[in-house]
Amino acid sequence: MAEKSKQTKYIFVTGGVLSGVGKGITAASIGAILKAKGYDVSIQKCDPYLNVDAGLLNPVEHGECFVTADGKETDLDLGHYERFLDFETSRYSSVLSGALYQELIDKERNGGFHGKTVQMVPHFTDLVQEKIAKAGEGSDIHIVEIGGTVGDYEGLSFIEAIRLYANRVGRENCLYVHVVYVPWINTSKELKTKPAQNALKDLRGFGIIPDVVVCRTERPAGRDICEKIARFAGISGDAVLNLPDIESVYDVPFNVLKSGVLEILNCFVGDDSDPDMTKWQKFSDLRGKKYDKVYKVGLVAKYVGNEDAYICVTEALKAAAAWNKMNIEIRWINAEDATGNDFKNVDGLVVPGGFGARGAEGKIRAAEYALEHDMPYLGLCLGMQMACVAAARRGGLKNANSEEFGASEENGNNVIYIMEGQKGKEETGGTMRLGDYPAKLVKGTKTYKLYGQGDVVERHRHRYEVNQKYLPEIEKGGVRVAGTSPDGKLVEFIEAPDLKFFVATQAHPEFRSRPLSVHPLFDGFVKALR
């Protein structure tokens, strides 16, 4: 590989026509290729939402809330980034307009602008540039995805900021990638380029001529379509890449490699070496294989209408299945009305995290069924809490419940509760545990064997804890503690020692699973399906 430049280079990914066209996957795929060439790659998303973070965004509309290692609640695209680039994002990897406005207003109120008028340009745009520079520190290449669609009123300041960034670091150190949608019109049986042309016109109107255009289509587009868009954009035909809908997003890097975009990337970084995609290719080959048996995994959840609400969980399961040379089918089980009839038709159960009482009894029933029928069970966050409630009920505590669901200690036995010292902080978020926390596993447990070590770190996003005064009843119900916080005050892992596989954690291990490095809990669960 050619000697790396000391100057960080920046790749800006924007979208046109409509949102949700695949900017995040495109950005992540480019990052994966550059990392496979040996570069240190970082990545960031800037969103025009007026929210301060993604913690309160509706999963039905926005999908999963991803949590970074340092505790920032973010958009699901950061999960894509981590899976493709196999690195940990941080709070600097996610920028929302609301947080920037809040920072500017706080600074103005504290006299930081010395009485000057605070404006979108230059103050907001300068702040965006500062966040980009901060997130890219120390990287060879920093990729920035701009959320929304070019031309949207709320996103104009971000577009202006990345245009100005070229003046800051030099145009030669900036590569602009524009992702556009090219719709298929069924009545005329053809792809229409006019929306893409208009999107490119908008981008040019804001002073940015893209170096690369990615055309998203429902079906493959001919070179004539790409050439037409290239002429309108004023760039080479080789700089227009068609990415049609495909079965797996993990094939996108290979589509990029097959295009002329690789040559553009090579020219941009001054390095024509080939990326080492060996492990990616192996994963792709394994994922695409068909075996005689298909194992059915029941995912017991309440947001069954939007699979993106649990995308890290499903991707972790699929990756584990591929590396174990197994085919799995994920069956969505609505937790609100889940019964034994749903559970008996699957080979294993996964109960993911969540908040609120809706669907809680269905999740408890799932844990009870797994305990009674020795069915492989993996509980994540709320999935662990409900497993503790189920075990306590089996252990004789018939009214076992969670304080989260409105049960008082007088009316029930809160196996799950807010610890003393945390009460009264629920509405402020003061009780939330977010990001990485260490845990100590009990030697000799199945969980210890899965990790292969006693000291582990996992990401969290929760408020309530297991009340350890009810551990005797939980243990009587067939479940024991397999790991705690280092001081022993918090239950972090449980398992059923007498069953084939019944493991649950207060954490969200799905956030740390990678397609090329499967998390041990998901690996163990999938193996147990056999």
Indicate yes or no: pTM above 0.75: yes
Task: Tell me the per-residue pLDDT of 493-502, one tens digit each, with 9 for 90 and over.
Answer: 999 999 999 9
Burial bucket for residue 133 (CB in 10 Å: 0-12, 13-18, 19+): middle
- Residue of 458 and 398 predicted with greater confidence: 458
What per-residue confidence (pLDDT) applies to 427? 45
Task: Tell me the per-residue pLDDT of 164-186, one tens digit each, with 9 for 90 and over.
Answer: 999 999 999 999 999 999 999 98
Task: Tell me the per-residue pLDDT of 249-307, one tens digit each, with 9 for 90 and over.
Answer: 899 999 888 888 889 999 999 999 999 999 999 999 999 999 999 999 999 999 988 88
What per-residue confidence (pLDDT) applies to 431? 66
Of 138-147, 262-271, 324-333, 427-436, give the lowest mean pLDDT range: 427-436
Catalytic residue among 145, 458, 495, 510: 510
CA distances from 340 to 211, 343, 357, 370 (A): 56, 5, 20, 10
List of residues 6+ apart from 153 with CB closer than 8 A: none
Sorting pLDDT into bands at 50, 70 and 90, what band is 410? low
Annotation says 508 is catalytic: yes
Q: What is the dihedral of CA 501, 506, 511, 514, to 10 degrees?
A: -30
Mean pLDDT of 125-139: 97
Domain with CATH 3.40.50.880 in the chain: 289-528
Mean pLDDT of 420-448: 77
Task: Tell me the per-residue pLDDT of 335-368, one tens digit each, with 9 for 90 and over.
Answer: 999 999 999 999 999 999 999 889 999 999 999 9
What per-residue confidence (pLDDT) applies to 524? 98
Task: Tell me the per-residue pLDDT of 319-337, one tens digit each, with 9 for 90 and over.
Answer: 999 999 999 999 999 999 9
DSSP per position, 154-217: GGHHHHHHHHHHHHHH-GGGEEEEEEEE--EETTTTEE--HHHHHHHHHHHHTT---SEEEEEE
Is residue 462 predicted with pLDDT exceeding 90? yes
The whole-angstrom separation of Cα 329 and Cα 323 is: 15
Mean pLDDT of 205-216: 93
What per-residue confidence (pLDDT) applies to 408? 61
What per-residue confidence (pLDDT) applies to 429? 42
Annotation says 312 is catalytic: no
Catalytic residue among 142, 460, 508, 519: 508
What per-residue confidence (pLDDT) applies to 406? 74
Annotation says 174 is catalytic: no
What per-residue confidence (pLDDT) applies to 20? 81
The whole-angstrom separation of Cα 159 and Cα 208 is: 9
Domain with CATH 3.40.50.300 in the chain: 16-283
Q: What does DSSP assign to residue 439?
A: E
Sorting pLDDT into bands at 50, 70 and 90, what band is 420? low
The whole-angstrom separation of Cα 73 and Cα 433 is: 11
What per-residue confidence (pLDDT) applies to 62? 84
299: its two tokens: 């995912």
What per-residue confidence (pLDDT) applies to 523? 98
Is residue 28 predicted with pLDDT exceeding 50? yes
DSSP per position, 58-91: -HHHH---EE-TT--EE-THHHHHHHHH-S---G
What per-residue confidence (pLDDT) applies to 336? 94
Provide the H-helix boundaries in 303-396: 311-323, 340-343, 360-373, 382-394
> Any idea which fold 16-283 has?
Rossmann fold (3.40.50)
**Percent of the chain clearing pLDDT 70 (strictly above):** 95
490: its two tokens: 């918090």
Sorting pLDDT into bands at 50, 70 and 90, what band is 423? low
Average pLDDT score over the chain: 92
Task: Tell me the per-residue pLDDT of 61-98, one tens digit each, with 9 for 90 and over.
Answer: 888 999 999 999 999 999 999 999 999 999 999 999 99
CA 180, chain centre distance (Å)? 23
Catalytic residue among 82, 381, 462, 492: 381
What per-residue confidence (pLDDT) applies to 233? 83
Phi, psi of 301 (to 5 degrees): -145, 170
What per-residue confidence (pLDDT) applies to 425? 42
C-beta neighbour count of 34 within 10 angstroms: 24
Mean pLDDT of 477-493: 97
User: What sign does the CA torsion over 21, 23, 26, 28 have?
Assistant: negative
CATH superfamily label, 289-528: Class I glutamine amidotransferase (GATase) domain (3.40.50.880)
Is residue 10 predicted with pLDDT exceeding 60? yes
